[in-house]
């Protein structure tokens, strides 16, 4: 756990006090994200700013910047994928409360003992990983289809039967 981040945060107290946390931590702190990466070398720069929405709902602004080491699916080579996250998250204690969140806030469930701020940042990073990672400079591969004369059309027999019947 990064030393500047507490293990748990009481979102009500943090929002009331306008608490802010910022710093850096090693990617190897993100155990769930690690399985999506080639390796865990690198650091995440983060900022969490707690506040209240106009409705009084506790919220947090999550900002994180990192270069994720991913495997390019075109070249099968390691590359660094830059990620810059800016998310506004509103906290709820029951799923039914999600519809009452102000527009623009993503919901996050709060447990009895608050939230794990590292897990909150990690969740946002997981959502930023592309489904099919590809280096921006990877050569494009285009599929081409050229019918060959030596393969018979599987529907040719049906076409003959239709001509004979009609």
For 15-52, write each residue's pLDDT tens digit: 999 999 999 999 999 999 999 999 999 999 999 999 99
Assigned token pair, 21: 């946390």
Average pLDDT of span 147-164: 74
**Residue 148's pLDDT band (boundaries 50, 70, 90)?**
low
What whole-number distance in Å separates Cα of residue 156 and Cα of residue 166?
Answer: 15
Instruction: Report the 10 Å Cβ neighbour count for 40.
Output: 15
CB 108 within 8 A of CB 89: yes
Residue by residue, DSSP assigns 63-124 as EEEEEEEEE-TTT--EEEEEEEEEEEEEEESSGGGGGGSPTTPEEEE-BTTBB-HHHHHHHH
pTM of the model: 0.80
Instruction: Report the 10 Å Cβ neighbour count for 63.
Output: 16
């Amino acid at each position: 756990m990064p030393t500047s981040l507490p293990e748990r945060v009481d979102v009500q107290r943090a929002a009331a006090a306008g608490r802010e946390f910022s710093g850096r931590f090693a990617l190897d702190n993100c155990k769930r994200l690690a399985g999506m990466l080639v390796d865990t070398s690198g650091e995440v720069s983060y900022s969490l700013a707690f506040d209240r929405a106009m409705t009084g709902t506790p919220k947090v602004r999550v900002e994180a910047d990192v270069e994720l080491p991913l495997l390019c699916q075109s070249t099968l080579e390691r590359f660094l994928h830059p990620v810059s996250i800016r998310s506004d998250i509103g906290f709820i204690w029951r799923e039914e409360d999600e519809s009452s969140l102000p527009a623009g806030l993503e919901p996050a469930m709060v447990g009895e003992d608050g939230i794990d701020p590292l897990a909150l940042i990690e969740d946002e990073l997981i959502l930023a990983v592309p489904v099919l990672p590809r280096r921006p400079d990877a050569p494009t591969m285009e599929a081409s289809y050229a019918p060959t004369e030596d393969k018979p059309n599987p529907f040719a027999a049906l076409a003959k039967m239709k001509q004979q019947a009609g």
